Structures are given as structure tokens and as C-alpha cells.
Chains A and B, each alone.
Chain A
Amino acid sequence: MTVPPLIEIKNLYVHFSVYGGRLKVLDGVDFVMRSGEKVGLVGETGCGKTTTMKAILRVLPMPPARIPQGEIYFKGRDILKMNASDLQQVRGRGISMIFQDPTAALNPVFSVGQQLEAVIHHSANRGRQLSRQEIHQRAIASLQEVALADPERLLRSYPIQLSGGMRQRVCIGMALATGPELLIADEPGTSLDVTIQDQILRLLRKLVEEKNTSVILITHTLGIVRETTDRVYVMYAGNIVEVAATNELFSYPLHPYTRGLMDAVPRLTGGGVSDGIPGRIPNYLNPPPGCRFHPRCPQAMDICRQEKPSFYKLSEDHEVACFLYQEGGKGT
């Protein structure tokens, strides 16, 4: 019997009902990851990265969100069809998430200890109560894990008393306290300074290595993806446009969007800045027909305006959704 993948998303659509119509945000997302993988998800602001992850955790506000089509499997079980108590188990011990802004993720009116201990309390195995002493010990252990000094005092302090880097460490500690199999990190360093971001990412890499946690890293900073992940999904306007092993993607980006993104990153070695990708992400009320990238694509063809490209598999670990790479296409 084959082991089901850790996460498998099949043809996921997410729409939001708003005044004036329906925002067609996710447009058939496919995503697979095995246990133990570190996967990156990159794309511009508003391309649907966070929406996808929120759909996995089923924390999208519905309404206005609607999932008209699609399946999300966590270890072979459809998350979208789970009852509340199974879902509770998945959220606690299966999947944890770290958010971009630790200041907004922590509640300002509860102490770090209250928040962390609540997480540990609720994530305990069904039917097994942890004693207060045990919970406290675990809370201290999880703060020590994220290299925070003086955990006893920290548990009594409030988020406002901590620096940004410390808050993000607390969030990481909290996310890992329950021993999840999958950690979703949504731009974990973006709101922090470069040197602090470097510390946080190094800590995160070390911890997931030790615990063999699988990771989905969401970011728009390509450099971070390159240094942290094994495989990358590139997302544009609610579609996955390219999937490849990290090294492969950075050496041979294929989709015109991925190439545009790579060119737009200023290099430490100099050489000026490229103009980037013209235009901006489409309006989700009336997304362009065919390939959603065609209005900004320098290599758009007639077919791109009419049909949505399917995935073309170019090698074992490289797939791209672009007509340039179809049988006999220009790109092959």
C-alpha cells in the first residue's frame, strides 16, 4: 500500500462574494507534498498564497469565501469534509501556522504564558488531561527551544514588552509546542530586520531539521526560498504556474512570470535593476480569459488568450503551466 502524501490539494477553487460580484481568487490550484519536504510557495502580493494556506486549515471566513470545487487531503483524509472534532485534531497536532506579523498574531491582553499554555492544553491527546504543572513545564521547554533566555519571566510578560524578534520566536515556539507534522510559515521574517530575519530563519531551519517537521514556506522574497526549501511552487493570480526542485528553478526558470520575477530581484553583484514585469495582478472580479498572465506576458500568443494552459512535465522535478512548453512549442 502506498503512503498518501502529507498534503494534496486537487483542483481547488476559492471564490469570495463581495459587493459587485464574485472574486474568483483561486482558480484550480493543485499542490502535493510528501512528509518531510520543505516546500516554498512564492508569488506577488494578492496572488492567493495565504488564501490557499487558510483553505488548508479551514480558517477562511465562509461566507464571504466559498469553495465551489476542489479537495484538500491531509494524509489521505479530506479536510473539507471533516467534522469539527477531527478538524480540531488536525489543527492542533497535524498542522500549525506562523504568521507574518507576530505583533498581530499574539493577543495583547494575555500574557505569553496564558497564550502558550492554552495552546498546549488544547492540543493534548483526546481523553488525556495534562496537569497544570506539566503544561507549565512544556511551555518553558518550548521557549527554551526557540533560544529565549529566562523563560519563567517571559511567560509572565505581555507581548508588548518583547521585541519583534522575540515575539516571532514566541510564535514559533507556540506553533511547534504541539509537535505538528506540518508547519506553515507565512512570511516569517518579512516584518523583521535583515539580521533578525536571518536569525529567525536559521532557528526555524534548525528546529524543523531536528523534529523532522514538514514545512510550507510562503514568501515573496526569492532569496529566502532558495536558502530554505527543497521544492518551489510559483503562484500567479490564483494559479500555480511552475513547480520545480529549488536548484532547478533558480538555474532554469521557465515560465515567463518566474523569469520576470527572477530578473526583477536586484543583485548584490550589481549590474542595475531590470524594469520588472509590466502591469499588475488582474482584477479577480473579471480575470482575463485563458492564461491569467497573458496581459503581462512578453511572449503571449493567440492561444494564451483563449485557453488555460495545463501542466507540461519537462523533467522529473520540473513542471510548468505555459503553452511555450507544449509539444513542439517555442520554449522546448
Chain B
Amino acid sequence: MTTDILTFTDLKKYFVIGHSGILKREPITVKAVDGVSFAVREGETFGLVGESGSGKSTVAYTTIGMYRPTAGTISFRGQNLFENKMRPLALRKEIQIVYQDPGSSLNPRRSIKEIIGLPLQIHRPDENRLEQVVRLLEMVELPPDYMHKYPQMLGGGEKQMVAIARALATEPSFVILDEPTSALDVSIQGKIINLLIRLQNEFHLSYLFITHDLSLMRNVASRVAIMYLGKICEVAEAAEFFRNPYHPYTQMLLSSIPVVSEEEEKFKPKKIISTGEIPSPVNIPSGCSFHLRCPRKMDICSEMDPVMVKVEEGHTVRCHLYGQSD
């Protein structure tokens, strides 16, 4: 029986972006994350998929403590992450993140040694720092003499490896990967992904893998959740998910992927023509937020927001098409 390492319970994060009304007293809010619940198990790769503006990065940033949630909680091995005003150091070291664009997440004025050394200095001050930097570089398959280089001297893939080494410096048990390869060429992507998989096996890491690339997701995640406008619309085991997508949005996403072979073409759901724009998160449509673009819209969809229903073991969907039963 596997246990949950990180549990999201009805997580909400609203941002006030301005005020409206004559007296400018009514806040205009963006519901970036609006009631998200899921759990990541020990040692698994949990995939979070969504288009831009769906709130997937807000989930990540709330998890590492960059934001405090408006409502709801995130707990790590049963411990609420937002119990204290300041997150204790011992808890911070457990949850680390690798950002999307290593070009902007690494300080160009710091050498690689300093970049990887900073978390060591804070979290493991008693150890020999140089030794640890060399060990971390070896872990991500970079030669030790790279520590004297600066980020701009490295290629995109190498920079991302440094970012991974920095995330692992605190010996975390949970790492958030926020689109770790989307800024890289496909020829380098594979190396980074396989490195991440190897590190996961070696150190028994749990990953929250955020991406918009479903083909990649199919190959790395054990379970997948789809987000749309701040809400999760479907969660399932990865293989099951691609074999049998329920939610119309998921079907639309899957049928939109450009693929490179005939076998994949057969594997895709029947072409669903994607229509409409993604609504602005300031003006989320009433009822189900997807109903304006949905090809199988019913009357109820514009009135009532559906709830999560279980359609199969380990497969839940938030859509009025399913679970009309009492």
C-alpha cells in the first residue's frame, strides 16, 4: 500500500488585480486556483496538464510557499504546510522546484559553484561544500570543472541540469518540475527526462510534473490530472487516461496533439474540432467553466458547476455527462 506524500485539499488561490465600482471598493479577483484536490503518492510522478492560465504554476508556487493559499490546505506527510507563518527550514528542504526556463532561473552573475552552493550553505552548513558541489554535479552527469563556469557559458540542457542539481542540494523528497523541458530542443529533452527518471529511482523522489506536452506526459507520469481554468477536470492513471479519456476537454486536448506516426494517429480519439478561446480567468463562465467550448454541452452545464465523480477505479471526472445517477 503506497502512502500519500503531498495532499491538496480544496486549494484556492485568488489574486486581487484591481477594484471596480464607483468607490473602487469591490475587488476584481482572478481565481487562479479554485478548489483543487488531489494527492501525490510516495515515489510516483504525478502529471499536471493544462493550458496557459489554467493555474498549474500557481499550484506549484503555492506548494513551495511562494504564495499562501486563499483557502484550503496542502499537507506534506500529514503536516499542514501553512501551519506557521514562516515555513520551518526542515520542511522547506523537503520540497524543491525546477523552473521552466533555466536561462532566467539561474543568476547570470553567480558561478555554478555559488548557485549550487547556496542551498547547501543554508540547509547543510556543516558539510564540506566543495565536496558536495562536485558530488551534485556528478549526479547530474556534468564534469566537476563546470563549477567555475557561469550560466551563459552553458547550453540550455546543461543549464537545466545545474538547476536540477541545485534542487537536489537540500536532499528533498518531493520535487516540482514546472515544464522542465519546454524551453529545450526535443533532441535534448530526452536526456533531461531520463536523468530525472534515474534520479527518482536512485533517491526515491516524488515528482509533481507540470507540462502541456501530453505525449511527454504519457511517457513519464504514473497518474495525470488535467486542469482547466483553476479546476481539475479529470484524474486517472496515465495509461488508462490516454486509452479512455472521459472529459470532452481531455478528448479535445488529445485530438489536438500533432503526432509523428500512424500508430499514434490511430491511438488518438476521434478528431474533436477545438473551438473558441480560453476565457479570461477574471470572467470565468458560469456553471462548468468549459461549457462555452464544449462540443457536448447540455442545458445544465451553463447553470451548475459539476462535481467530481468516480467513473472507474482510480479515474475521476468533473462533467455532467457522467454520474447523473441520483
Q: Which residues of A are interface residues toward B (Cβ below 8 A)? A: 44-45, 163, 165-166, 193-199, 201-202, 220-224, 226-227, 250, 260-278, 280
B219 partner, pick from A199, A223, A270, A275, beta carbons under 8 A: A270
Residues of B within 8 A of A196 (CB): 51, 274, 277-278
Residues of A within 8 A of B208 (CB): none
Residues of B within 8 A of A166 (CB): 277
B190 close to A (CB within 8 Å): yes
From B11-19, B171-179, B262-270, the one touching the partner chain is B262-270
Most chain B CB within a 10 A radius of its CB, from A166, A193, A262: A193
Residues of B within 8 A of A221 (CB): 186, 258
CB 8 Å contact bits of B203-220 with A (1 = contact, 0 = none): 000000000111110111
B215 partner, pick from A266, A274, A277, beta carbons under 8 A: A266
Q: Across the interface, do B256 and A194 meet the contact criterion of CB distance under 8 Å?
A: yes
Q: When chains A and B are docked, how far (Å) is the Cα of A196 from the Cα of B280?
A: 14
* Shortest Cβ distance from A280 into B: residue: B155
Most chain B CB within a 10 A radius of its CB, from A195, A220, A262, A264: A195
B48 close to A (CB within 8 Å): no
Q: When chains A and B are docked, how far (Å) is the Cα of A78 from the Cα of B4?
A: 67
* Shortest Cβ distance from A164 into B: residue: B52
Residues of B within 8 A of A226 (CB): 258-260
Q: When chains A and B are docked, how far (Å) is the Cα of A226 from the Cα of B259?
A: 8
CB 8 Å contact bits of B73-116 with A (1 = contact, 0 = none): 00000000000000000000000000000000000000000000
Q: When chains A and B are docked, how far (Å) is the Cα of A250 from the Cα of B187?
A: 17
B185 close to A (CB within 8 Å): yes
Min CB gap B180→A, angstroms:
12
Residues of B within 8 A of A266 (CB): 189-190, 193, 213, 215-216, 218-219
Q: Across the interface, do A267 and B219 meet the contact criterion of CB distance under 8 Å?
A: yes
Q: When chains A and B are docked, how far (Å) is the Cα of A47 from the Cα of B205?
A: 36
Say yes or no: A195-B186 contact (C-beta < 8 A), given A270-B218, A275-B194. no
Q: Can you offer 22 A-B residue contacts whose CB atoms are under 8 A?
A: A163-B278, A166-B277, A194-B51, A195-B253, A195-B274, A196-B277, A222-B186, A250-B260, A260-B187, A266-B219, A267-B261, A268-B215, A268-B242, A268-B259, A268-B268, A273-B219, A273-B220, A275-B194, A276-B187, A276-B190, A276-B191, A278-B191
Residues of B within 8 A of A199 (CB): 274-275
Min CB gap A29→B, angstroms:
20
Q: Across the interface, do A280 and B214 meet the contact criterion of CB distance under 8 Å?
A: no
Q: Across the interface, do B260 and A194 meet the contact criterion of CB distance under 8 Å?
A: no
Q: Across the interface, do B261 and A250 meet the contact criterion of CB distance under 8 Å?
A: yes
User: Interface SS of chain B: helix, strand, loop or mixed?
Assistant: helix
Min CB gap B308→A, angstroms:
22
Q: Across the interface, do A198 and B260 meet the contact criterion of CB distance under 8 Å?
A: no
* Shortest Cβ distance from B49 into A: residue: A194
Q: When chains A and B are docked, how far (Å) is the Cα of A262 from the Cα of B267?
A: 18
Interface residues of B in 255-309 (CB under 8 A from A): 256-261, 263-264, 267-268, 273-275, 277-278, 280
Q: When chains A and B are docked, how far (Å) is the Cα of A308 from the Cα of B310?
A: 61
Q: When chains A and B are docked, how far (Å) is the Cα of A2 from the Cα of B68?
A: 70
Say yes or no: A280-B190 contact (C-beta < 8 A), given A194-B214, A223-B257, A266-B215. no
Min CB gap B291→A, angstroms:
15
Say yes or no: A198-B274 contact (C-beta < 8 A), given A250-B261, A267-B261, A276-B189. yes
Q: When chains A and B are docked, how far (Å) is the Cα of A14 from the Cα of B314?
A: 56
Min CB gap B242→A, angstroms:
7
If A226-B259, A261-B186 are given as contacts, then 19 extra A-B residue pairs at C-beta distance below 8 Å, sorted by A number, are A166-B277, A193-B278, A194-B51, A196-B274, A199-B274, A220-B185, A220-B186, A221-B186, A221-B258, A223-B257, A223-B258, A266-B190, A266-B193, A268-B215, A268-B242, A268-B267, A269-B264, A270-B218, A273-B193
- 6 closest A-B pairs by beta carbon, nearest first, are A223-B258, A276-B190, A193-B51, A198-B256, A195-B274, A277-B187
Residues of A within 8 A of B280 (CB): 163
Most chain B CB within a 10 A radius of its CB, from A196, A220, A265: A265
Q: When chains A and B are docked, how far (Å) is the Cα of A275 from the Cα of B157?
A: 12
Interface residues of B in 210-258 (CB under 8 A from A): 212-216, 218-220, 239, 242, 252-254, 256-258
Interface residues of B in 135-154 (CB under 8 A from A): none
* Shortest Cβ distance from B242 into A: residue: A268
B277 partner, pick from A163, A260, A264, A270, beta carbons under 8 A: A163
Min CB gap A271→B, angstroms:
7
Residues of B within 8 A of A272 (CB): 219
Min CB gap B174→A, angstroms:
22
Q: Across the interface, do B256 and A265 meet the contact criterion of CB distance under 8 Å?
A: no
* Shortest Cβ distance from A296 into B: residue: B187
